[in-house]
Amino acid sequence: MEGLKLLTILTEPEISDRVAADLRAAGARGLAMTEGRAEWQRAIASRETFDGPVVRIETVVGAEVIDRAMRLLAEKWFPHYAVLAWVTDAEVLRPDRYRG
């Protein structure tokens, strides 16, 4: 199946469970969450820099879920929290498991 994407999000730990819930609401059937540390030099949520713990959330979904998830992130989380998100093409085994 074509069109599967890997959505990767870095977020502050305090909101990671709520961001994950939004991804599920957008149609993600599963996701992985790992803890780490990040720093970046851009104005994020009214701060000049971010340096601290993060949670990395990853999910493989179709384009329609990507659209809904990115809209939620942009409206609800980007303006107020340190959140980064990016999308890459994904080739997976058993792609039927990733379609809702």
**pLDDT tens figures, 37-66:** 877 665 555 555 666 788 999 999 998 999
The pTM is what?
0.84
Q: Count the domains in the chain.
A: 1
Side chain identity at residue 5, one-letter code: K
Distance (Å, whole) CA 12 – CA 60? 21
Coil vs helix vs strand at 26: helix
- Choice between 67 and 98, residue whose per-residue pLDDT is larger: 67
- Say which CATH number the domain at 36 has: 3.30.70.120
Q: Kindly state whether residue 96 falls inside one of the protein's structural domains.
A: no
How many Cβ atoms from other residues are within 10 Å of residue 97's Cβ? 10
Cα distances (Å, whole numbers) of residue 46 to 35, 76, 85, 97: 23, 15, 18, 39
Q: What is the pLDDT of residues 6-41, one digit of tens each?
A: 999 999 899 999 999 999 999 999 999 999 887 766
For the beta carbon of residue 75, count every other beta carbon within 10 angstroms. 9
Pairing of strands 32-40, 5-11: unpaired
The residue ranking higher by pLDDT, 68 or 48, is 68
Residue 82 and residue 44 in contact, taking contact as beta carbons nearer than 8 Å: yes
Per-residue confidence (pLDDT) for residue 13, from 0 to 100: 92
In a domain, 66, yes or no: yes
Residue 48 in domain: yes
What pLDDT does 93 receive? 82
Per-residue model confidence (pLDDT) at position 1:
45
Task: Find the domain containing 79 and state its range.
Answer: 5-91
Give the pLDDT of residue 79.
87
7 token code pair: 């959505």
Considering the domain boundaries, does residue 99 fall inside one? no
Q: Is residue 98 part of a domain?
A: no
